[in-house]
Structure 1
Amino acid sequence: MNIRNSAFKLFRYNFLIEQLIIPTRYRHRIVFENDLQKIRNIGISAHIDSGKTTLTERILYYCGRIDTMHEVRGKDNVGAKMDSMELERQRGITIQSAATYVNWQGANINIIDTPGHVDFTVEVERALRVLDGAILVLCGVGGVQSQTLTVTRQMSRYKVPCIAFINKLDRTGANPIRVINQIRKSIGFNAAFMNIPIGLEGNLRGIVDLIEQKSIYYEGSNGEQTRYDCIPKEMETEAKEKRQELIEAISNVDDFLGELYLEERTPTNDELMAAIRRQCIQRKFVPVFTGSALKNKGVQTMLEGVVDFLPDPSEVKNFAFIHKEGEDEQQQQQVEAHKKIQIKPDRDDKNVFIGLAFKLDATKFGQLTYMRVYQGCIRKGDHIYNSRTKKKVKASRLVRMNANEMEDIEEAYAGDICALFGIDCASGDSFVNDRNSNLSMESIHVPEPVISMSIKTMTKDAMDQFSKAIQRFTKEDPTFRCQWNNDSKEMIVSGMGELHLEIYGQRMEREYNCPVVLGKPKVAFRETLLRPVKFNYLHKRQSGGAGQYGCVIGVLEPLPIEQNTKNVFSDETSGPNVPRWFVPAIRKGFDEMCEKGPLIGHKITGIRFRLQDGKHHVVDSNDIAFQLAAQGAMKQTFDDGRWMVLEPIMHVEVSAPAEYQGELIGLITRRNGLLQSTNEVDNYFIANSEVPLNDMFGFATELRTLTQGKGEYTMEYSRYSPTRNDVQQNLIEKYQQELAEKSSQQTNKMSKKN
């Protein structure tokens, strides 16, 4: 059987080379001058159910990585290659990002398939952080949806160029013209078709290549045979118009092509291809491809676009920053702009090795650390150093991933994505091979959790397994957090949504035999300051011998509204009044007090602690004294300052048949939502709004009831905003009632003891 499979692979590989890549343009478009130019690091991102995993499955098949293609939901009990987790195959969604690699036209393409659901957005964040390019997949029916906008914002954050693929053109209601107009208006991309479909819905037969002005048909049982022909006569006019539209879109941003356009000269195919590549890499133009991954149409042409237009590692600017020993992450970020240096993606092993650990995964062999190599080389058995902890670790095993399969390799160079075993680190840590090197890569943006639930095991015997599961999951996923609440005497887990926490609850039962019970969802409210308030607090204690003495003076002020999810500590002291070695203790006291606010006991965010002056004593001053002084200063601001409650606001997109338009608007209004835009597409009403998360519980049930099960919605975190006065007052009253009940319980316990 193995011999027959190997023979099949060899036959199909030769068949691909001989049959698929026929025209000269497809065989000799790019001349790779060095190994680095052969590499493409790409991610596949989109809104949920746009066909990302199906597309990846086709890419793997056409590149010879798998022998057969399988469906996403695993109806044949196999499932898609990239959805290796059992829960992913049952639910038909991607939960964890998965990495693989293929070879196409001499280029080595590293691919990361990312989740589409907003609850797993951190998987997209860390994938885009280490990738050089991306494929933005859009549904030919749904078009630009809420998570599409989130993904494009993430691409913009990391300056990742992309190409677009309008998928599912075989579905009823598919309309690529509408989708590309949405790309231009909703996202703001300068985009144009690279090819257009021949037929739509059930009549989708192939595509028209606008560069070569030829039609391409994908034949054979799995679309592996490509046949090139003339453009159908009924589409000649449309093809010319779309080609001219493509030239105009590029001419608007490319100087060379713009000059040709003004001179009324038609660019050659090579000139047009070169201009598209230049502007795609600079994120000024997005080539749009069309097809249907499920029906095996257009995937190979899209792959050619990946090689043609997305950058290799040498064409991407990556920066590291130099940090001093003892600087924490916040201090590094404050000086980062002044200390940034551009990394040369050099594959010379004589240069300092720099790599970024962007994803952790626990396997039966131990912790698997996914790493992107930015400079130099790492070999099996090398010793490397964690830039954050300065710990020395050995790369005892080096592998390359193909979903859940591993291939041992001896070395990895700049531009490669590999994985290592036995590396103790956190997601976002940088590694170097020189202990004295102070270089670190820019870390990964991690969004704050917006929802919390209580969690407990069904049996006391499962506590050991529960602890192992929590330790692993919190290490793998920085948006999943767990902590003990002393007030409620409960274990609280926090995450990006109900589905996020529900998935981890199911994984504990399946992977650790630890069934758990999740409590009712709780909103992660925050508390912040309304206006600046001064503090001047002296902590003084004398009990014989050396005492405690520390004084802090300064101002506590609110941060701008766009920064209301973080806190800043600012040391503005000068002179000897507050010795430098006591400042970390003051900051520690400030951080501890931010864990519990004065109004409802939730975390304090959006404030800046400005330490301006203070006093110390030669004998009695110590770390504890200044830590307690900072805590006293915060308590002083609790009494003197004006505080308010912040709540998470969610962007909600609701869609249902147009006949339910009134019900949808009423539903959003009743939940204190702010309607932002409405649209009607193919007799479907779509409403975009912002709704407080606190008002979203039970939304799905009510939506299904009002629309007879025909309504759908997506929700994603937007921002933190001040809550309404009535909600704040109710929260304060509830918190005061809880405090009174706890005080009463403690009094009763004391009286019983006495």
Structure 2
Amino acid sequence: MDQSKIRNVAIIAHVDHGKTTLVNQLLKQCGTFHEGEEIVDRVMDSDNLERERGITILSKNTSVMYKGYRVNIVDTPGHADFGGQVERVLGTVDGVLLVVDAFEGPMAQTRFVTKKALELGLTPIIVVNKIDRDGCNPLLALDKVFDLFCELDATEEQLDFDRVFGSGRKGICRAELEDPDGDFSILMDKIIERIPAPKGDPNAEPLLQIASLEYSSFLGRLAVGRVQQGVFKPNQTYAQAFPDGTVKNVRPQKLLRYEGLTPKPIEEAGPGEIILIAGLDYFDIGDTLSSTNNPVHLPRIHIDPPTISMLFTVNTSPLAGKYGGKFMTGNQLQERLERAHMADPALLVEKAEGASTFKVSGRGILHLTILVENMRRELYEFTIGSPQVIFQKDESGKLLEPVEDFKVEVPNEFSGACIQEIQQRKGEMVNMTTDENDRVSLEFIVPSRGLIGIRPKLLSLSKGYAVTQSFFKEYQPYKGEIPSRINGVLIAKEPGEAASYALSNLEDRGYLIIGPGAEVYPGMIVGEHNRDVDITVNVTKGKHLTNMRSKSADDMIQLTPYRRMTLEECVTFINEDECIEVTPEVLRIRKTELDPIKRKQMSKKPAEDDD
């Protein structure tokens, strides 16, 4: 195809600002859907977890034809934990659509993805979305975007950005705010006019770098990349360059290109085309395909280092295998984690001390828990430890830790309690503003350790009003000890089923995280104690039966509803000597060491060492 008729564009934004809904409108505008076809909301969110949570986790490609131009669109995640996905795919495009909520303006993660795009010299078009929201101020949001571009050292050309105003949900778009409602042909025209055509000599030797991957049930793993120069054809021999510097000759069986939402086979692809390659035995993101006469090693795609790690190990619980687990061995766990790293290089997997124990590092807790949730659904059963921040050392040997920019918006009456909580976690306030609605915007620099479990705490302190956002800033000197969970836990003493009678007697000791009938074993955690010590309790004890009857004794036992904890809540709840038993059907929190005598010995060791 004539490369002057190709446009490659990525859609970037803060989470929940309407990227994927906007893609739906662009697909509709270009006639991708047949007449009468049922159109699913957020059609690009194909993964079950993405649909359930309403967030984009994996970057995805689509392609539309508009007025004789082929527009390749990449939908990217908005959450900073999945920034590795964004960093990889921005190298395959020439411009970005920066989507900004007309009510909220640019947020913390808008800054993160915009910084990456501007550094690569990409041409931006601003889409001020959700102009139908009550109380929104689209022009103020646009001014804030300009200020953000100035802060991020945008070039003169990037500061002279084009913009549109619209609502992805209603399918309306305007070139100017006061214009009557139009459709998204306004935005498509601006993409063709403002985004540059791809460069690259079609007569040069072929060159492509693998930027992401997809999976087909018919063709297996597919490498996705943009042709930088030359022409690629199926069943031709190319040189594949690996990270260790070795080169291997490969012969792709098929080349595919997106036509709408479906990849279709093609006979050749020239510069600027984003293609899928089938038939490579082994490949990783960052590998280079080039001519066999002159193999090329392009620099590996730079991805920011991970900041949080967790230990994954085989399940050693007495109930292992009873709740739907199909893949439980160390080899199966290792093979699945290695596959996760190949699909997402921002996830690092290393062998750790101990049998079948692996240290998995990622960008944040959400990044790691999405992996855990996917593995649960694939019937894997395993154990995960508490999240640990990854420390580094500078040249002088001084300990460094990751810190994050953390922003909170709360009503004024709750700001004092929130400030106190964040400062206890070594947060330093750098800015504080109050708007006309008496909402306070607080900005802190907080160690990543201090942010573990902070969101539910702030929601509790602010009666659900706190809006939080954060993104990784840099490594700074170690800030000192941060208190973890203060309260102790209630630990099951006997195996069996939890009884209502026993649970009702424990309600004044703290809150419970299991209900009656739940199967328990010694060492399993059944609740949080309201004091700062762990206690062992018998939750299987039933009421002794006698031949005496009384109305009060015969009344049904009324239990306070127990706290049903999500995976993220479990991860932020546990301390270092605790872990989570992950099975397809249930999650259980337990002590890492189930034997109470060994637990007591381990708790005394540090004190003996001090003597």
> Quick check: TM above 0.5?
yes
Q: 1:308 to 1:174 in 2, by over 3 A?
A: same
Q: Does 1:687 align with 2:442?
A: yes
Secondary structure in 2 matching 1:372: strand
Shift of 1:352: 0.2
C-alpha contact (below 8 Å) 1:457/1:514 kept by paired residues: no
Shift of 1:284: 4.1
Structure 2 CA distance for aligned equivalents of residues 456 and 112 of structure 1: 36
C-alpha contact (below 8 Å) 1:98/1:403 kept by paired residues: no
Question: What residue in structure 2 maps to residue 109 of structure 1?
Answer: 71
- Structure 2 unaligned residues grouped into runs of 5+: 174-183, 322-326, 484-575, 578-597, 603-611
C-alpha contact (below 8 Å) 1:170/1:292 kept by paired residues: yes
C-alpha contact (below 8 Å) 1:657/1:685 kept by paired residues: yes
Q: Does 1:462 align with 2:328?
A: yes
Q: 1:417 to 1:467 in 2, by over 3 A?
A: same
Shift of 1:466: 2.7
Q: Does 1:703 align with 2:458?
A: yes
**Identity fraction in percent:** 29
Question: What residue in structure 1 maps to residue 381 of structure 2?
Answer: 515
Q: Which amino acid aligns with 1:369?
A: A
Q: 1:726 to 1:174 in 2, by over 3 A?
A: closer
Structure 1 CA distance for aligned equivalents of residues 478 and 88 of structure 2: 31
Q: Which amino acid aligns with 2:343?
A: E
Partner residue of 1:347 out of 196, 202, 216: 202
Question: What residue in structure 1 maps to residue 230 of structure 2?
Answer: 376
Question: What residue in structure 2 maps to residue 47 of structure 1?
Answer: 14
- Structure 1 unaligned residues grouped into runs of 5+: 1-33, 71-75, 192-252, 254-278, 315-344, 531-642, 729-733, 736-740, 746-754
C-alpha contact (below 8 Å) 2:313/2:356 kept by paired residues: no
Q: 1:375 to 1:491 in 2, by over 3 A?
A: same
C-alpha contact (below 8 Å) 1:456/1:516 kept by paired residues: yes
Structure 1 CA distance for aligned equivalents of residues 332 and 74 of structure 2: 30
Question: What residue in structure 1 maps to residue 491 of structure 2?
Answer: none
User: Which structure 2 residues correspond to residues 262-301 of structure 1 after superposition, within 5 A?
Assistant: 282-298=157-173, 299-301=184-186
Structure 2 CA distance for aligned equivalents of residues 134 and 96 of structure 1: 17
Partner residue of 1:496 out of 351, 356, 363: 363
Question: What residue in structure 1 maps to residue 91 of structure 2?
Answer: 129
C-alpha contact (below 8 Å) 2:402/2:474 kept by paired residues: yes
Q: 1:725 to 1:170 in 2, by over 3 A?
A: closer
Question: What residue in structure 1 maps to residue 398 of structure 2?
Answer: 644
Question: What residue in structure 2 maps to residue 139 of structure 1?
Answer: 101
Question: What residue in structure 1 maps to residue 29 of structure 2?
Answer: 62
Q: Does 1:162 align with 2:47?
A: no
The structure with more radius of gyration: 1
Secondary structure in 2 matching 1:660: helix
Structure 2 CA distance for aligned equivalents of residues 456 and 404 of structure 1: 38
Q: 1:397 to 1:373 in 2, by over 3 A?
A: same
Shift of 1:104: 1.5
Structure 2 CA distance for aligned equivalents of residues 68 and 518 of structure 1: 48
C-alpha contact (below 8 Å) 2:426/2:479 kept by paired residues: no
CA distances 1:190-211 after superposition (whole Å, capped 9, x unpaired): 99xxxxxxxxxxxxxxxxxxxx
Structure 2 CA distance for aligned equivalents of residues 489 and 380 of structure 1: 41
Structure 1 CA distance for aligned equivalents of residues 39 and 186 of structure 2: 30
User: Which structure 2 residues correspond to residues 607-686 of structure 1 after superposition, within 5 A?
Assistant: 643-681=397-435, 683=437, 684-686=439-441
Question: What residue in structure 1 maps to residue 54 of structure 2?
Answer: 92
Q: Which amino acid aligns with 1:297?
A: I
Secondary structure in 1 matching 2:96: strand
Question: What residue in structure 1 maps to residue 343 of structure 2?
Answer: 476
CA distances 1:474-496 after superposition (whole Å, capped 9, x unpaired): 11111112222116973221111
Q: Does 1:363 align with 2:207?
A: no
Shift of 1:467: 3.2
Structure 2 CA distance for aligned equivalents of residues 403 and 521 of structure 1: 40
CA distances 1:325-366 after superposition (whole Å, capped 9, x unpaired): xxxxxxxxxxxxxxxxxxxx1223xx2001111012343332
Shift of 1:35: 1.5
TM-score (norm 1): 0.58
TM-score (norm 2): 0.71
Shift of 1:727: 7.1
Partner residue of 2:187 out of 293, 296, 302: 302
Structure 2 CA distance for aligned equivalents of residues 508 and 644 of structure 1: 37
Secondary structure in 2 matching 1:724: coil
Secondary structure in 2 matching 1:462: coil
Q: Which amino acid aligns with 1:116?
A: G
Shift of 1:404: 6.5
C-alpha contact (below 8 Å) 2:425/2:482 kept by paired residues: no
Shift of 1:110: 0.4
Shift of 1:679: 3.1
CA distances 1:697-753 after superposition (whole Å, capped 9, x unpaired): 22012101111011121222111111035679xxxxx99xxxxx9xx99xxxxxxxx
